[in-house]
Amino acid sequence: MKRPYERVLLKLSGEILAGHQGFGLDLEAVAGICEEIAEVARSGVSVAMVVGGGNILRGQQAVQKGMERAQADTMGMLATVINALALQDALERLGVSTRVQTAVEMRQVAEPFIRRRAIRHLEKGRVVIFAAGTGSPYFSTDTAAALRASEIGVECLLKATKVDGIYDRDPALYPDARRLPRVTYQEALQMQLKIMDAAAFALCQENRIPIVVFDVLKQGNLRKLLLEGEQVGSLVE
């Protein structure tokens, strides 16, 4: 069976890496996710990643407590670097070659983001982990994911979540919420579905990058989606 996508970008939230702890790094959760990523990467799919930092610091919460927004966002960007290094370590221990590229320069820790170099790493079979968001405050890691996905020419943006797709309303609050297996960009806008923030969604729509929203914590989902061609989660296109 032909693989549905040859190059993808996986957007992982910091909360996913916290596991059941809800805060910090759960190294068992990180290892579990990386085992599936490693399987996909070994099969020949080019995998890039953008990781959030909400398990360490959420900028919005810091702002609500009085911190200046740009400062809080900068701290959040640095938190994503810690997560990226944890993912790198877990993947390397599984025998997968990786590179971490950061939007905020810190050469002793990782490469600076250089688009052509990132593409070359992917062509050589390395997993590229993008950290420090866009490098600028006021932009979310969702926006960073959409931006990097556009820059490196991926065929799909995978938004890894704790729910099994997109719903017409919050399933945690409404037991009768209906799961939507497939929606168009326009339908998502009209229904005000909170898939990603507006800037990220606009970038994906403009560059015709489909978005798959899926439950990354369900074992085997990544393999089914990328290696077996099964429909997993919900698709926006």
**Residues tagged in the binding site annotation:** 11-14, 53-54, 58, 73, 134-141, 161, 167, 170
* The token pair that represents 155 in the structure block: 């065929």
Gap between the Cα atoms of 32 and 27, Å rounded: 9
Using CA atoms, how far apart are residues 80 and 130, in angstroms rounded to an integer? Answer: 9
| CA angle (135, 10, 141) in 5-degree steps | 30
The secondary structure element, H or E, covering residue 118 is helix 115-123
Q: Which residues are annotated as a binding site for ATP?
A: 11-14, 54, 58, 161, 167, 170
The H or E element containing residue 180 is strand 179-180
20: nearest Cα among 232, 234, 217 = 217
Contact 20, 26 (CB under 8 A): yes
SS3 percent helix, strand, coil of the chain, rounded to 5, is: 40, 20, 40
How many Å apart are CA 200 and CA 194, to the nearest integer? 11
Q: CA 174: distance to chain centroid?
A: 26
Numbered residues of the known binding site for UMP: 53, 73, 134-141
Helix then strand count (H, E) for the chain reads 9, 11
